[in-house]
Amino acid sequence: MSKGKKIVKFISSLVTSILMVVLLVTLFMVVITKASGNEANLFGYQIKTVLSGSMEPSFKTGSIIAIETGGDMTRFQEGDVITFQTEEEIIVTHRVIEVNEEGQQYITKGDANDGADMNPVLSENILGEYTGFTIPYVGYVMNFANTREGAALLLIVPGVFFIGYSVITIGRTLRHVKKLVDKEEVKAD
């Protein structure tokens, strides 16, 4: 096999692998998110999308972060990053800067904010603690994938490419097999 054909075969295999991984990861994330009511929850960890820049540079807008749910919600100390629900039912992830009343209330602040949050966070409003796991910009894709159009686009387009590529590969293989069969027939005559 020539060097050019080896390179084409390698690139072909690489493209196939990338398409398959993208398709499977997207499918997995969409199914997990939809099954859990738009909260991706896996082994006690929830995946959250960062929608504001209040915690930059710790994590950028559009990142996904993992939070560990459950446990004693009065355990947090200054410097811990917690995710909580506000009175307006907004989910926020900020850093604890002060602990009041033996862990029953926390004063929080976004790293990029000038001052502390207006209201203390009650321990019963805490959803979990940031684990240190962040992937930048994936949150944009996850939010888009949670829309009807996004799920269709992110699942169907890679699927169509994968099927099209498979049809081309099968066609090439059949042509190659036909050539081998024709050669054998010529030898037999």
- The residues annotated as belonging to the active site are 52
In the block, tokens 């490419």 appear at 161
Q: φ and ψ at 100, to 5 degrees?
A: -120, 155
CA of 99: how far to CAs of 32, 46, 127, in Å?
35, 24, 17
Q: Read off the DSSP letter of residue 143.
A: H
CA of 42: how far to CAs of 67, 103, 138, in Å?
10, 27, 17
d(C-alpha 112, C-alpha 27), whole Å: 34
| Per-residue tokens: 131 | 């684990």
d(C-alpha 85, C-alpha 126), whole Å: 6
Name the amino acid, one letter, at 130.
Answer: Y
